[in-house]
Structure 1
Amino acid sequence: MDNFKVSVIVPVYNCCEYIGSTLDAIINQDFEDFEIIVIDDGSTDNSLEIIKEKLSTSTRHYEIIHQENAGVSCARNRGIEIARGDYLVFVDADDFITKNHLSQLYNGKTDFSLTQFVKKDGEHLSKPHHFTEKLISCDDFIRMELNMEIPFHFCQLMYKTSIVNENNIRFTPNVVYGEDTEFALKTFIFGENISLGNEITYYYVQHDESAIRTSEFKRFEVVNIFENLAQYYRSHGKDELANLIVTSRIPKAIFGNMNYFFYNDYNFEDVIEKMHQLDLFEKLSKFEGDSKSKFKIKLFLLNPNIYYKVWKKIKNSID
């Protein structure tokens, strides 16, 4: 059985409009020693036909897996199970990578490597984070993420396969938000360093059909993900990082998603009721981070109605 330097894992579900261009970008990499693993997760459109046509006419090593619909986490996990590369790279079926994505990521030395990603919404591009160093310890990177000091997407990374498999790290099934961040943050505690690059090579494409309104309040599921991650860290002797999840990452996730619902015109009473149901007020009160965020959170906890009215007034003045 052949081994490769890199396995590129692509989960697909009803992405016929985008999967062709995504695969073209992968096929046309300026890096040679890699395989493409596409997992069709029960698509009901013609995604599978496009996948077969694109890959069968290329010279790249590839594997196509067709399975009954089980969700993106199960699709990615299936890709990990059959991957033969020393390193893993994940590309979503509707995103885009530049020609040098793999060559920028691969160094064959560090446990992880990272290039920059941006969110692409029409013609608008988000601003990437610029790293001043070329190497960072995994623990330091985790702290930056838990304090939300950097924009982060798990697809901008290359992962050492042996670390993932030897520690049995997989994506949590049946979760809509946060399972990808959980995967990365679990994996990091078993590595030493992350190689950092500042070139933008991954474009995370935003689509109207993926708008937050279709998710109801599922974005709050990320709280459970981070609570489970905190337990995972404690079980591996990472109490300081676990505490940082409780006092920083979870409160910021709650507050950020709450404001996101407000911005997208969710009913104020519905948001507050859902937060009470999930006991999010108590978890929000544990925030111990920066003074600016602490002030906003305290204002909200003191009187949610006043906070919302002030927030709405500021939003309307900006709009």
Structure 2
Amino acid sequence: MPTLVTGAAGFIGAYVLRALAARGEAVVGLDSYNDYYDPQLKRDRVAALCADADIRRLDLCDRDGLAALFDEIAPARVIHLAAQAGVRYSLQNPHAYVDSNLVGFVNLLELCRHRGVEHLVYASSSSVYGDSAAPPFSEDQRVDQPRSLYAATKVANELMAHTYAQLYGLRATGLRFFTVYGPWGRPDMAPLIFSRAVLAGRAIEVFNHGRMRRDFTHIDDIVAGVLGGFDHPPEETPPHRVFNLGNHTPVELEDFIAVIERAVGRDAQKVYREMQPGDMVETMADTRRAHAAFGFEPSTPIATGLPPVVDWCREYFGDRA
């Protein structure tokens, strides 16, 4: 009975799938390979990180196709990382978020419930904290004032999972990711946008005039946290828990850019802009709950983790940087 990993061609998904396979787990992946960003990057990512993996092309909104997959492989556990991501894109295409993050999530919950899945681990986001919490963000703080539709869908996921845990005993673990970065990362996020622009000598847009702080978390630390949550299913009643997975050390945006500048060997051309709708000024994870539950202890500072991202951008994108 394998583990099903959704979003397996995505940034976090491909690394998680590789880590599970490396420790001998039977794994089947699922991904729609949508065109939110270049699907070729997703194919190349899979080829580089988990070339031998069994990854099925399927959309979460395809209820019949998803049911057929569950019938075929009978997964014992599910790591659900598929979602329509991106705060700013949710302002342009809200229906994509409703379809993937709400309809798709309910489809998955129903199959987990009816097919006896032992443990569902699913991706949430630091975006859920919105305007109602103050850093450091603790899982006990309110999440009822999201700043974007994307964040609202992630809050909804947590509420849905809690309901299924309470009504049906479905064991579920939600993981709030804090700004994940690393080689093979998402091209719509600041680490790759800034690295590629500085490499190419293009200007970068720095929002809120640089007065922003982010809890940048390296992919290796995130994978360790996903596996930690996966290996420690909740035992309480109802069997649902939520954990922050962040570096718990926020970095000034200007300092983050400075690391990229040193790695590239040239200064960035900065164009300062006003705050963008939906963005948060600061994120900072309180990770004590994850540490107590499964020993989560992120260990990668940006000075160590970011230069390899620049090197990967230089190698992968080349003249397309």
Q: Same fold (TM over 0.5)?
A: no
**Structure ranking higher on relative contact order (CA contacts 8 Å, 6+ apart):** 2
State the TM-score, normalized to the length of structure 1.
0.30
